[in-house]
Homo-oligomer: A and B are copies of this chain.
């Protein structure tokens, strides 16, 4: 079908997978790294630095924004994007719980 059956999973599972999907693309990882380094970033800079078209980068930015991972404010003719601290913290926490629930001592196979 091509359509995830979200209704059979918990809210936590759906929420975490949505956040992960948003960052599970090299371009979006690169964008986030760039934003974190300068703690501010405009779309035009990214177009120069990554090798993707302006429309494509704008689209990736929108996906990150829709997921709540970044937020943007208009600065004259350009837009300043930065990390949304709340979502970032939430992602860190959810991922921490998930990753740390593996106790690696006793591998079974």
Copies of this chain, complex-wide, total 2
**Residue pair A83, B99 in contact (C-beta under 8 Å):** no
Task: Please indicate which of the listed interface residues A16, A24, A52 has the most CB atoms of chain B within 10 Å of its own CB.
Answer: A24
**Residue pair A91, B80 in contact (C-beta under 8 Å):** no
Beyond A5-B52, A9-B30, A52-B5, whether A89 also contacts B104 by CB under 8 A is: yes
Q: Which residue of B lies closest to A75 (CB)?
A: B109
- Asked if A8 CB lies within 8 Å of chain B CBs, one says yes
- Asked if A107 CB lies within 8 Å of chain B CBs, one says yes
Cα A23 to Cα B99 with chains together (Å): 11
**Residue pair A83, B98 in contact (C-beta under 8 Å):** no
Cα A14 to Cα B29 with chains together (Å): 9
- Asked if A82 CB lies within 8 Å of chain B CBs, one says yes
Report the minimal beta-carbon distance from A24 to chain B, rounded to whole angstroms. 4
Can you name 13 A-B residue pairings with CB atoms under 8 Å?
A4-B25, A6-B26, A8-B50, A13-B29, A21-B21, A21-B25, A33-B98, A36-B102, A39-B108, A81-B109, A83-B107, A88-B102, A95-B99
